[in-house]
Structure 1
Amino acid sequence: MIDFPVIFINVTSIAIMGFVLFAAYRRRDKQAAAELSIASLFMILWAVSSFAEMLSDTFEMKVFWRNVTQIEVFMTPVATLMFILAYTDNLRRHAGRIKQFAYTYQAVAVLLILTDSLHHAARKSVSLTSQGLYQAVVVVPTILGSILVAGNFVFMLASLVLIIIAAWGSLKSTRKQVYSVLFGIVVSVAYAFIKVSNVQFLQSVPISGIFAISGFLMLLGNNRYDLLKLTPLAYEQTFRFLGDGIVVCTPQGQVIDANPAALSMFNTSLEGVESMLRLSSSQWYELILAGKQSNFSLQFTDRFFHADLYPITNKRMEPVGSVTLIKDNTMLEEQRLLLTERAEKDGLTGLYNRQTFIERVEVELVCATEASHLLYFDIDHFKKINDTYGHRAGDHVLSELGAMLTGWIEPQSIAGRFGGEEFAVFSSSIDSEQARLRSEEFRKLVAQHLFIHDGSELRVTISMGLASARAASFDRLYRLADTLLYQAKAEGRNRLCSGQDAGQALQ
């Protein structure tokens, strides 16, 4: 006859696990809630069928309920492992395959037990024995049965190891909830091993009593420590779905993980992220090794990125790795370059405007060791073009002349529009005679070019002044070039006048 304590333990256990199942179902939209619901359901069924076995008064009914119990016996460890995998998000890439293997492996044991009357492959014998307050069925397994039962311990130990790892690396804000899960698993695993070792004082304690303890710890974690409201997986979700790239490295600079955003930025797999970062930014690897918080910019193909590097240390302040946050700044960089170009370039010709031209030439003059040359020219009778053909035609001539000048100058030269129909070219990479020949070449090129606008054919000429000097200021070069330009105009236009600064000995 079963007395009150046994009944109380069983009923209390079932009630507690029912509350756990209800709490998990209420938060079924949270990570790991579905897996916890399944594990709780198996535990409830296990406790109910075990209780039914105790209440049965015939050997046949006890065996029947024992067989029913074996479904939960083999499925609960797997369901618990699936919950731990979902909760800690360990082995995320392999969770699906682990689930398929584990449930299939345990299903084999269940099928052998339920069909034991046909083959006795899993059981040697089934008998009835007294366990203190009630009679229980005792099963002697075959070697195959023992192997299948060993799978339960493997799955339980795997759950224990995974939750210990999670507890070891947990943050302060989630530590208590992780510990509540850990202790719940520890109680179940410890009971299973003690049960196998035949410790007498625990043989009379029903499995539902252990579920009561585990269930209480789960409820504590759920209601007090927000077990399903804020799980460690939330951090993983942030890692996966944050729009910015995240790259995790060892202290030696080896990339061990990267979120989808980072993989998309570099258009590569995890294995290729490290090489892409080294190619895009030579300082990234050096900063990783230095282990200091820093930021830097990098460019990959036609995209621009800003990166912030944060070292990760343990409680002893020893470096254990780093996290690099990468933000795609391509749009901002393109806007910045566009604004810079608009500020520096003449919108009609694409050449530098007057102010930018002067600033860049002054920088070149500081570094120049050879003769410098400033070619200054304007379009002859440009007002007549505007008056005859209209200002749109004049703009067309200026635009096309700017394009011709861009294609003609040396790569090291600087070209700009000074305003109106006036242009300037600075060079210091050629000698005076080469500068004169090149300038004369461009004058003839313009004179021979046919400008066409709205069906009208236009021809223009330019007058040019070429000033050469060594170690001169821009103002000095400009005054001389301007004087030579007006000399060219006075001599009949469409010509080049060149000269050097007085007192300068040029090669």
Structure 2
Amino acid sequence: MLSFPVLFFNLLSIGMLLGVLIAVWRVRSKRAASELLIAVLFMLIWSLTSFAEMVSYTFFFKVLWRNICQIGVFYTPVATLLFSLAYTGYWREKQKQIGRILYIYQGVGIILVGTDFLHHWIRHSVSLVTSSQFSTLVVETTVLAKFLISGNFFLMVFSLVLVIVFVVTTSTSMRKQAYILLLGMVIPFLYAMAKVVSNEQFLQILPISGVFALSGLLLLLGIYRFDLLKLAPLAREQAFRFLGEGIVICDGEGHVVDMNPAAKELLGTDMDLIEEQLYLEIPRWGNAVRQSERTSFDFSLDGRALLAELYPITSKATETIGTITLIQDITLLKQRAEELQHRAEIDGLTGLYNRQTFIEKVERQLSLATGESHLIYFDLDHFKQINDQWGHRSGDAVLHSIGSILKEEVDESCIVCRFGGEEFAIFSSHKSRDEMISCAEHLRKYVELQIFTHEQHSIRLTVSLGVSSAITSSFDELYREADACLYEAKKAGRNCVRIRSTPLD
């Protein structure tokens, strides 16, 4: 007569496995779901037939259910191993071949059990032991049976080892669901080991079908609480481990709970020191983590430019439970952007600002200036003759030399440009009018004394300069006056400086 606890636990086990089967069926398209579905199906066969054997009272039906039960006994370890391989992603290319070989190998035991003329190869005897509380089968197995059963345990142990290795090597965020899975596999394994070691005399009242209740409960917990199959662990793990972007995960209190190898490399630190770096060295990041705000910003660290994109992690109830930060190395992008900007702003021949950039920078300074601003505008005298006599390459060499002279001889506070052709301009809102006039005269004398050489040609030239000064926010006004002064210098015979007698109001 079965006691209520025994009946309850066995029916609970069957109910749990049916629940797992339904839950897995709903997500059967996910990675590793089909393998888990098959494993649970064999566990259910094992559980149902084991319970059926328990409630049967005749020797014939007990043997019948025990024989059918061997389908679950021999195939559950194979299906469990295949699920472990699919879950962890190990030997992905060989999983189908491994499955074929193991199902054929384990099928030997099922054939021997179900075939009358080969039955003695696996069992010496089967007897029914009856007590006042229950009756059970006692099977005396052969050496071959012990060998096949050892294969079962080998497959179960191998499955456990795969999951243990995965637990040890996986990311922190994956370990909870991996622990649940591992515990669900360990419980029936230990129970089965105890039964075999005791020659099936141990725990006769509660067959393994009852133990499956705990495994089913843990699997359901893993599926519904830890998203066991909602996102394939392999895909999540590989994205976390091998994604080029760094990933840092923080909980709702701002503590770092996980980071991938890319983040460790980019930040040059590990889990023990990341929080100190986050809050002390990169306070903007720390503040964003505390506030759980969606934001992005760039920062510099150890000579590298990094971009951080922070996203809040919300629960199903839309409650913020943490943050995830994606980190990219944008050093090369910044260098290329700066290079493109440099090319857009700088005249390639002289290394000075081009006209457009010069005007933009001058207008920006004029809008901020409170005092007098000054513009020197000049060109090279008879430059066309240099091109005509020695060629354009010689003319380019002279222009390049003029650019070098301006970079060396003009104060860094001034803005200098090649205005176009052989025309140049110098602007300052920091120097006095007399200083700018002195600068213009210095340049005139410096160029006059220079001998420019190119391809064994010695070239001498002069420059004519115009200087304008004004308290104004208009570049055009300064430019018109400086251009007029330059025209006066040309009319006066070139190689001279001309200025307005009084600055513009």
State the TM-score, normalizing by the size of structure 2.
Answer: 0.65
Q: Name the residue aligned to 1:247.
A: 248
1:292-371 alignment to 2 at 5 Å?
Answer: 292-300=293-301, 303-371=304-372
| Corresponding letter in the other structure for 2:168 | L
With over 3 angstroms needed to count, the CA separation of the structure-2 counterparts of 1:21 and 1:297, relative to structure 1, is same
Does residue 32 (structure 1) correspond to residue 32 (structure 2)? The answer is: no
SS at 1:439 equivalent: helix
Q: CA deviation at 1:259?
A: 2.0
Change (3 A) 1:80 1:472: closer
In the TM superposition, 1:82-161 aligns within 5 A as 82-86=161-165, 89-92=166-169
- Superposed, 1:130-209 pairs within 5 Å as 165-166=176-177, 202-204=203-205
> How much does 1:34 deviate?
6.1
Look up the equivalent residue of 2:86 and give its one-letter code: K
Cα drift, residue 292 of structure 1: 1.3
CA 1:230–1:311 in structure 2 vs 1: closer, same or farther (change >3 Å)? closer
Q: Paired residue for 1:418? A: 419
Q: Secondary structure at the match of 2:86?
A: coil
Question: What code does the residue aligned with 1:82 have?
Answer: V
Q: For the residues of structure 1 that align with 2:250 and 2:318, how far apart are their CA atoms?
A: 17
Q: Which residue of 2 aligns with 1:488?
A: 489
What is aligned with 1:453?
Answer: 454
Quote how far apart the aligned CAs of 1:324 are: 0.9
Q: Partner of 1:403: helix, strand, or coil?
A: helix
When structure 1 is superposed on structure 2, of 263-272 and 476-485 the one drifting more is 263-272
Aligned AA (2:420): G
1:46-97 deviation line (CA, Å, top 9, x unaligned): x99xx99995579xx88999998997899788656434435xx4332799xx
The CA RMSD measured in Å over matched residues stands at 5.1
Aligned-pair identity (%): 38
Matched residue SS, 1:91: helix
- Checking the alignment, whether the CA contact within 8 Å between 2:352 and 2:403 is kept in structure 1 is yes
Aligned partners of 1:255 and 1:273 also within 8 Å: yes
Shift of 1:419: 0.5
Distance change in 2, residues 1:300/1:411 (3 Å): farther
Distance 2:442 2:339 in 1: 33
SS at match of 1:452: strand
CA contact (8 A) 2:81 2:158 kept: no
Counterpart for residue 99 of structure 1 = none
Matches within 5 A, 1:192-231: 202-204=203-205, 231=232
Matched residue of 1:347: which SS? coil
Distance of 1:206 and 1:185 partners within structure 2: 16
SS at match of 1:468: strand
Q: Secondary structure at the match of 2:167?
A: coil
Deviates more, 1:335-344 or 1:368-377: 335-344
Give a deviation string over 1:231-284, Cα, whole Å, max 9, x none. 423211110111222122244544443223233334554556556666885522
Match of 1:232 in 2: 233
Structure 2 stretches of 5 or more lacking a match? 1-57, 111-118, 127-139
* 1:15 aligned partner, one-letter code: I
Alpha-carbon contact 2:470-2:504 (below 8 Å) kept: no
Encode CA deviations 1:122-146: one digit per residue, 9 max, x unaligned: xxxxxxxxxxxxxxxxxxxxxxxxx
Shift of 1:475: 1.5
Residue-by-residue CA offset, 1:150-186 (whole Å, 9 max, x unaligned): xxxxxxxxxxxx98x3289xxxxxxxxx78x866656
Which residue of structure 2 lines up, in the alignment, with residue 498 of structure 1?
A: 499
The answer on whether the counterparts of 2:377 and 2:466 sit within 8 Å (CA) in structure 1 is yes
CA distance in 1, matches of 2:256, 2:250: 4
How many residues end up aligned between the 2 structures? 413
1:400-427 deviations in Å (ceiling 9; x for gaps): 2113222333333211111110011111
> What SS does the aligned partner of 1:492 have?
coil
Distance 2:192 2:387 in 1: 100
Q: Which amino acid aligns with 2:72?
A: I
Structure 1 residues 252, 299: closer, same or farther in 2, change over 3 A? same
Structure-2 change in CA distance of 1:441 and 1:14 (3 Å): farther
Could you tell me how far apart the structure 2 residues matched to 1:458 and 1:32 are? 77
Which residue in 2 is equivalent to 1:100? none
What is the deviation of 1:189? Answer: 6.5
Distance in 2 of aligned mates of 1:442 and 1:6: 113
1:338 and 1:500, CA in 2 relative to 1: closer, same or farther beyond 3 A?
Answer: farther
SS at match of 1:385: helix
Amino acid at match of 1:324: T
| Structure 1 range deviating more: 360-369 or 308-317 | 308-317
Q: Deviations over 1:294-316 (max 9, x none)?
A: 22233446644433211123345
Asked whether the equivalents of residues 374 and 468 of structure 1 are also in contact (C-alpha less than 8 Å), the reply is: yes
Give the SS at the match of 2:350: coil
Do the aligned residues in 2 keep the contact of 1:397 with 1:451 (CA within 8 Å)? yes
Cα pair distance change 1:451/1:27, threshold 3 Å? farther
Q: What letter corresponds to residue 166 of structure 1 in structure 2?
A: Q
SS at match of 2:500: strand
Between 1:430-439 and 1:330-339, the stretch displaced more is: 330-339
Q: Are 2:409 and 1:408 equivalent residues in the alignment?
A: yes
Which deviates further from its counterpart, 476-485 or 381-390? 476-485
For the Cα contact (< 8 Å) 2:399–2:422, is it kept in 1? yes
Q: Does 1:399 align with 2:400?
A: yes
Query: Is the 1:16–1:212 Cα contact (8 Å) retained in structure 2?
Result: no
Distance in 2 between residues matched to 1:315 and 1:478, nearest whole Å:
65
Change (3 A) 1:52 1:412: farther
3-state SS in 2 of match to 1:90: helix
8 Å contact kept, 1:25–1:34 = no
In structure 1, give the amino acid aligned to 2:308: A
Q: Sort the Cα spacing of 1:271 and 1:416 in 2 relative to 1 into closer, same or farther, 3 A.
A: farther
- How far apart, CA to CA, are the structure 1 residues paired with 2:326 and 2:237? 15
Match of 2:71 among 15, 31, 45: 15
Report the more deviating stretch, 305-314 or 19-28. 19-28
Please tell me the residue identity of whatever aligns with 1:85: I
Q: Does 1:378 align with 2:434?
A: no
Q: How big is the shift at 1:435? A: 2.2
Cα offset, 1:446, TM superposition: 2.6
